[in-house]
């Protein structure tokens, strides 16, 4: 069987930043206006007052300081509370394809590959901006890649699950190399009027090249030793956005159509699942947590990452062992562990072992054990 390797990776940052302070100022202005306009109804118990948010809470509860956003205009405007993204026509490059291509070009460069070296494109993320034609096929066309492309959605585990498909395709010889891209345009699905969730997400695009070791010519590459995926149904992280709203007469933009979650329950249920998943995956390879030099973990909440690595190591992981990118990027759905990897892997010596692991909505957990070549 062919040995599949990760030969390139990259992160593309959208051009705008929103700090916690800016976000909280906007949310609080919106809430105060709502509370004052509805003072009588709130007093009589017919309406609920909107609670205020705080930048200090956001940082303490999540580790997030700021997030990148694809279009800042509109997101902080209390008369709008959602980004203003201009609609593009059928003949124009779609927003997500543009984000995907920006990261893909950087990853190709990192892998020392040209588009003609690639055999398949997977665009995998929490949402795609349309159903068809697939964003992956649009990207494939723009980059001049032969072969095939498809989109897949697995929320926070979209990137790791796509890397697993890429690994299998390269090992099986279905294709010579795969470009896995995660254009995470989360901001249109954020409810900026919801105190519990308004701070969680940021936009980003990441890309990874997976190919056979025989064709690998990059400076920093990793053997993929094995992959593991698990899913368990839960309603604790949910978005009801979808095409059926057109027929149900439901408001297609009501709060339940946006991202919402029972954050405490997610925290309590997902941490032990993720820790067990990694322990099981390591033991399938006769490895223990101590054998790993680096943990490129999903970036939803710093406290989750600290807890998971502590459960496995029996001590706190250092930032060098388990890098955190949440402070700069916030939760970028499936891209988090890939940002952590792309920015923190070149320094490891040959033979070093690490794990890339995502955990989130579904629930879904995906991991890859990799070794520096």
Catalytic residues: 156
Q: Is 148 in the site for ligand CO8 (CB under 6 A)?
A: no
Q: At what angle do helices 302-313 and 263-284 cross, to 10 degrees?
A: 40
The residues in 301-320 that bind ligand CO8, with binding defined as CB under 6 A, are 301, 304
The residues in 164-203 that bind ligand CO8, with binding defined as CB under 6 A, are 186, 189-190, 195-196, 201
Q: Least distance in Å: CB of 219 to ligand CO8?
A: 32
Residue 181 tokens, joined? 């891209």
Buried b / exposed e over 91-125, threshold 16 CB at 10 Å, is eeebbbbbbbbbbbebbbebbebebebbbbbbbbb
x-or-dash string of contact with ligand CO8, 58-77, rule CB under 6 A: x--xx---------------
Which one of 53-61, 112-120, 307-315, 349-357 is the stretch in contact with ligand CO8 (CB under 6 A)?
53-61
Q: Least distance in Å: CB of 149 to ligand CO8?
A: 22
Q: Least distance in Å: CB of 238 to ligand CO8?
A: 9
The residues in 102-131 that bind ligand CO8, with binding defined as CB under 6 A, are 126
x-or-dash string of contact with ligand CO8, 219-258, rule CB under 6 A: ------------------x---------------------
Q: How far apart are CA 210 and CA 253, in angstroms?
A: 38
Q: How far apart are CA 204 and CA 334, in angstroms?
A: 10
Phi-psi region of 249 (alpha: psi -120 to 50; beta: other; left: phi over 0): left
Residue 179 tokens, joined? 């470009």
* Closer CB to ligand CO8, 226 or 263, in the complex: 263
Q: Is 146 helix (H, G, I), strand (E, B) or coil?
A: coil
Burial class (CB in 10 A: 0-12, 13-18, 19+), 238: middle
Nearest by Cα to 350 from 370, 323, 324, 322: 370
Q: Least distance in Å: CB of 108 to ligand CO8?
A: 26
Q: Least distance in Å: CB of 282 to ligand CO8?
A: 22
The rounded Cα 192 to chain-centroid distance in angstroms is 19
Q: Is 155 in the site for ligand CO8 (CB under 6 A)?
A: yes
Q: How far apart are CA 133 and CA 262, in angstroms?
A: 34
Choice from 179, 361, 369, 370 touching ligand CO8 (CB under 6 A): 361
Choice from 2, 54, 112, 240 touching ligand CO8 (CB under 6 A): 54
Q: Is 162 in the site for ligand CO8 (CB under 6 A)?
A: no
Q: How far apart are CA 178 and CA 5, in angstroms?
A: 10
The rounded Cα 231 to chain-centroid distance in angstroms is 17
Q: How many residues does the chain have?
A: 373
Q: Is 274 in the site for ligand CO8 (CB under 6 A)?
A: no
Interacting residues with ligand CO8 (CB under 6 A): 53-54, 57-58, 61-62, 126, 155-156, 186, 189-190, 195-196, 201, 237, 259, 261, 263-264, 266-267, 300-301, 304, 331, 333, 360-361
């Amino acid at each position: 069987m062919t040995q599949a390797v990760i030969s390139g990776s990259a992160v593309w940052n959208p051009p705008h930043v929103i700090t916690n302070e800016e976000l909280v100022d906007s949310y609080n202005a919106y809430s105060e206006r709502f509370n004052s306009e509805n003072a009588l109804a709130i007093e009589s118990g017919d309406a609920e007052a909107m609670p205020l948010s705080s930048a200090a809470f956001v940082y303490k509860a999540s580790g997030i300081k700021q997030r990148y956003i694809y279009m800042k205009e509109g997101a902080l405007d209390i008369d709008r509370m959602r980004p203003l993204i201009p609609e593009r026509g059928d003949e124009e490059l779609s927003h997500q394809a543009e984000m995907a291509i920006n990261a893909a070009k950087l990853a190709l460069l990192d892998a020392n590959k040209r588009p003609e070296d690639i055999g398949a494109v997977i665009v995998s993320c929490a949402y795609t901006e349309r159903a068809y034609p697939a964003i992956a096929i649009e990207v494939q066309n723009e980059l001049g890649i032969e072969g095939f492309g498809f989109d897949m959605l697995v929320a926070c585990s979209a990137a790791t699950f796509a890397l697993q498909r890429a690994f299998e395709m390269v090992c099986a010889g279905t294709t010579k190399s795969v470009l896995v891209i995660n254009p995470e345009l989360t901001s249109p699905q954020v409810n900026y009027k919801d105190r519990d969730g308004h701070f969680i997400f940021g936009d980003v695009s990441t890309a990874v090249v997976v190919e056979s070791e025989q064709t690998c010519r990059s400076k920093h590459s990793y053997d993929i030793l094995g992959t593991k995926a698990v899913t368990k149904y839960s309603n604790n992280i949910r978005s009801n956005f979808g095409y059926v709203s057109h027929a149900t007469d439901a408001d297609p933009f009501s709060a339940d159509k946006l991202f919402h979650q029972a954050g405490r329950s997610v925290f309590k249920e997902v941490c032990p699942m993720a820790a067990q998943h990694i322990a099981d995956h390591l033991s399938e390879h006769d490895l223990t947590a101590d054998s790993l030099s680096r943990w490129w973990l999903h970036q939803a909440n710093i406290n989750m990452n600290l807890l998971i690595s502590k459960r496995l190591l029996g001590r706190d992981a250092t930032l060098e062992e388990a890098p955190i990118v949440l402070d700069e990027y916030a939760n970028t759905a499936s891209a988090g562990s890939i940002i952590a990897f792309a920015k923190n892997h070149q320094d490891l010596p040959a033979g070093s072992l690490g794990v890339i692991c995502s955990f989130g909505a579904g629930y879904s957990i995906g991991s890859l054990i990799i070794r520096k070549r």
